[in-house]
A and B are shown apart, each in its own frame.
Chain A
Amino acid sequence: MPKTLVQEFTKGLWEELPPFRLVLGLCPTLGVTTSMENGLGMGIATTFVLVGSNLLISMLRSMIPTKVRIACFIIIIASFVTIVELLMQAYTYPLYLKLGVFIPLIVVNCIVLGRAEAFAYKNKVSFSMADGLGIGIGYTLALGALGAVRELLGHGSVTVWGDLSYNLASSFPSFHPFSFMVQAPGAFICLGLMLCLINVIGD
């Protein structure tokens, strides 16, 4: 059944929510979510690459030969990643330094290549853009949520872009932050528990 443009967009927000529903793109999900700001930044960068590559691949889909399509996809994606890399170096340098190796690694993020192969190569330009945007925003929200939980439990407060902040200790004076959550093992356990929560809600 053909879906409408809105449906293609909204499926990325719940039905096919990348890290939880599809369990793809886990490396940045675990690696950069030490704070909400990092998570959101990574999500936005990935969204840009997703929309850009989906748009270009969809436009070129009749010209890309089936046999070498994966190589073509990777080159297109790598070009967009380079654009993001240069843009972030120019305008958001502190964030660029924090995300570090994970920015060039958007190239090998399975979500981006997955959408190119499964969606953009077979669908119209407008639908591909809606799909890319939906999945990208879903991914951003998921990374932001995971980052927020880890930052809140690990540091006791959440700060986004310097001015928006919330301190847990003000509502629960007996709460002590445990830095375990912002370290490596906490990432795995926190994501595992969130996945469990999503499964409970999903049922």
Chain B
Amino acid sequence: MGYFELIIACVFVNNILLAQFLGNCPFLGTSKKMETAVGMAMAVIFVLVLAGTITWLVYTYILVKFGLVYLRTIAFIVVIASLVQFVEMFLKKSIPALYAGLGIFLPLITTNCAVMGVCVLNIDKEFTFLQALVASLFYAVGFGLALILFAGLRERIFLARVPKPLQDTSIALITAGMISLAFFAFQGMV
């Protein structure tokens, strides 16, 4: 697969939120306001690129080399958790403006299954290093795109009169279904 197809596949066809169902908790949790959605999207892009490449390196050069493949899950979550902690400390010291912008979303990323999911998918699909890097970046871009689109819609829904049992999460899920349907149209592209 060429890199162009890979990019289209990651952003649209296999969109991490709407087609693969990864990272849905922050998707519903942080999409009530546009500001928080943008913050979350930036934080995910930042961490996912780092996590995707580092876990690939750890898997290929440590776990496979020493025959420890069965420790994948534990190794990956430890890498992600410490990476998030490290990024948090680094940003606090050197780029306080960005740190303030990302705020509470950074620590939440440890338990964002989109991050862990992409790391596992990179390995399962047997990507090379460069493919893993591109895939991580564009899966994250796809996450951001879907999240920001959804936040825009949800701000509108907030003003609409929704029947009581459908309020909040219920209508949000149905709206997400509609966006997912729109993304479904990309299915035949790659």
Contact = CB atoms under 8 A, between A and B. Distances in A.
A192 B173 CA distance: 5
A74 interface: yes
Interface string B118-130: 0011001000000
Q: Which of B20, B70, B74, B115 has the most CB of A within 10 A?
A: B74
B184 A196 contact: no
B165 interface: yes
A95 B172 CA distance: 31
Interface stretch (B22-30, B40-48, B56-64, B131-139): B22-30
A192 B21 contact: no
Given A101-B120, A184-B18, A203-B165, A81 B73 contact: yes
Contact of A105 (B22, B166, B176): B22
A157 to B, nearest CB: 23
Contacts of B74: 75, 78-79, 82
Given A104-B120, A105-B120, A195 B169 contact: yes
Contacts of A192: 166, 169-174, 176-177
Interface stretch (A6-14, A23-31, A56-64): A23-31
Contacts of A82: 70-71, 73-74
Contacts of B18: 184-185
Interface residues of B, number: 45
A85 B73 contact: yes
Listed from nearest, the 4 A-B pairs whose CB atoms lie closest are: A192-B173, A188-B177, A31-B21, A189-B177
A110 B120 contact: no
Interface in A163-203: 183-189, 191-193, 195-197, 199-200, 203
A101 B117 contact: yes
A9 B48 CA distance: 38
Contacts of B164: 199, 203
A30 B20 CA distance: 9
B20 A113 contact: no
A203 B124 CA distance: 45
A105 B113 contact: yes
Contacts of B190: none
